[in-house]
Amino acid sequence: MAIKESVKKLTGRRSFLKGAGVAVLGAGFWADETLDAQLQHTNTASKPSALRITDVRMAGQIIRLDTNQGLVGYGENRDGAIPSYVLELKRNVVGENPCNIDSIFRKIKQFGFHGRQGGGVSGMEIALWDLAGKAYNVPIWQMLGGRHRDKIRIYCDTPGAGDPKVFKERFDRRKADGFTFFKADVGYNLVSNVPGTAVYPSGADINGSTVHMFTGMELTDKGIALMAEYMAKVREAAGWDVPIATDHFGHIGVNSCIKLARAFERYNLAWMEDFIPWQYTDLWKKITDATEVPTLTGEDIFLKEGFAELAKNHAVDLLQPDLLTSGGILETHKIGDLLQEYGVPMVLHNASSPVGSFANVQCAAATENFLVMENHAVDRPEWGDIISNIKPIIDKGYINVPEGPGLGITINEEALKKSLGEGGRYFEPTQEWDLDRMSPGRGGQPAPGGAPAAPAVRRPNDRLWS
């Protein structure tokens, strides 16, 4: 009786019933019948306990989950990831209650992996959160425990230019737009046409898929001096009072990474990013310990375990999950909390559409050690067109945290169709991925009973957002 009286008092408190408590408790603390009874006086958008996923569809990289109550949830496959990474999960989620986010994630995470292959699981998880937030009529950040900030700082890439005046003009435009954090690519490609800037075996794969340390490429003193000279121009153009990060140095060896970092120490950089692949913890620590420039990696890591290894060994100074690879919103929130235990700030890598960007925003709002989030679309005014309810999306270097339910965004269907280009597939039926026609294995494997194999390639008109 005492519990019933307590619940009755709480039903009048909008902040409780529309906040994180109900969404989290509804996932298992209260029986569905008890929760539904208490929600009868609450402004929900559906009957959450009876909500079921009925279909999975895609428009380019954008994922849509349909339900039996008319609610739809949106997520995003990572840039460059093929649609089958998402669609092969259909058999695992149709019929499920999307509010059981963690339970579904634990079932599907076996189908993800590092790099682009994490995009399907991560994008699906985002769409589940969007549905749960809409069902309970609360923003995702509220269900994660509330927010630490009401706007998210953005860092923007600034294309390089041979002429320092042109480069300064670009930085000045960024500053005038309100940006307070910057990144520039300062790699070997800037000096590669100058003889004597690097040594490597003739015919070596220095720009391909060969891992950095195995190309045999090392920078010369001349190459490092020219790259440092270019970095000096970048710093002068931006000014000495703003943080600048750097990236894309080339497939160079560990010793060259150290020499280059030491040459860049005088420019007070925010970080130097992805010198080598993230898996080499000991080599990362060797680089980090040899320089005073902060180091960063992490955009290709799936799940928190890889981040834990780098953080506990203090192999890098900052870690940067890509939410569309790392496992989605909750896993990235957990990653942030994990990193905080080791004193490591979390940066968010983001090369996505506004759908993926607002998933990052929801996570960043609720994660205390978040520092700054990337955006690749500063020079693309059409980038934000697919969202109709938030204009501008980036406001003076920040994205304001939405108050609306789920991701807090409304899709502009016409703009999304236009973005796909001629012949682009717009949320077309995906019956070839239905349970009775699916292979029990991964996409592209023969299906039982002579059914056609599920497609496992990206279609030409599935647009990328990076």
Domain extent, residue 239, equals: 151-400
Q: What is the DSSP string of 184-248?
A: EE--GGGTTTSTTSEE--TT--SSSSS-GGGS--EE-HHHHHHHHHHHHHHHHHH-TTS-EEEE-
Q: Which of 145-159, 307-321, 416-430 has the highest mean pLDDT?
A: 307-321
Between CA 309 and CA 336 the distance in angstroms is 14
Looking at the structure of the chain, the number of domains it has is 1
Domain of 392, CATH number, reads: 3.20.20.120
Q: What pLDDT digit, counting tens, does each position of 11-35 carry?
A: 444 444 444 444 444 444 455 566 5
Please indicate, yes or no, if residue 284 is contained in any of the structural domains. Answer: yes
Please indicate, yes or no, if residue 218 is contained in any of the structural domains. Answer: yes
Please indicate, yes or no, if residue 225 is contained in any of the structural domains. Answer: yes
Whether the predicted pLDDT of 2 surpasses 90:
no
Alpha helices in 46-163 (DSSP H): 84-87, 90-93, 101-108, 119-136, 140-143
Please indicate, yes or no, if residue 261 is contained in any of the structural domains. Answer: yes
CB 326 within 8 A of CB 303: yes
Q: What pLDDT digit, counting tens, does each position of 60-98 carry?
A: 999 999 999 999 999 999 998 999 999 999 999 999 999
Give a three-class secondary structure readout of 415-442.
HHHHHHCCCCCECCCCHHHCHHHCCCCC
Please indicate, yes or no, if residue 112 is contained in any of the structural domains. Answer: no
Please indicate, yes or no, if residue 287 is contained in any of the structural domains. Answer: yes
- Pairing, β 346-348 against β 218-219: unpaired
H or E, element range at 286: helix 281-289
Between CA 427 and CA 254 the distance in angstroms is 46
pTM of the model: 0.85
Please indicate, yes or no, if residue 314 is contained in any of the structural domains. Answer: yes
153 phi and psi, to 5 degrees?
Answer: -70, 135
Instruction: Return the pLDDT at 12.
Output: 42
Please indicate, yes or no, if residue 22 is contained in any of the structural domains. Answer: no
- Pairing, β 370-375 against β 151-157: parallel
Between CA 173 and CA 150 the distance in angstroms is 25
Q: Which residues contact 389 (CB under 8 A, 6 or more apart)?
A: 404, 409, 410
Q: What is the DSSP string of 38-60?
A: HHTTS--SS-GGG--EEEEEEET
Residue 50 identity (one-letter amino acid): A
Indicate the Cα dihedral angle 432, 435, 437, 439, nearest 10°: 100
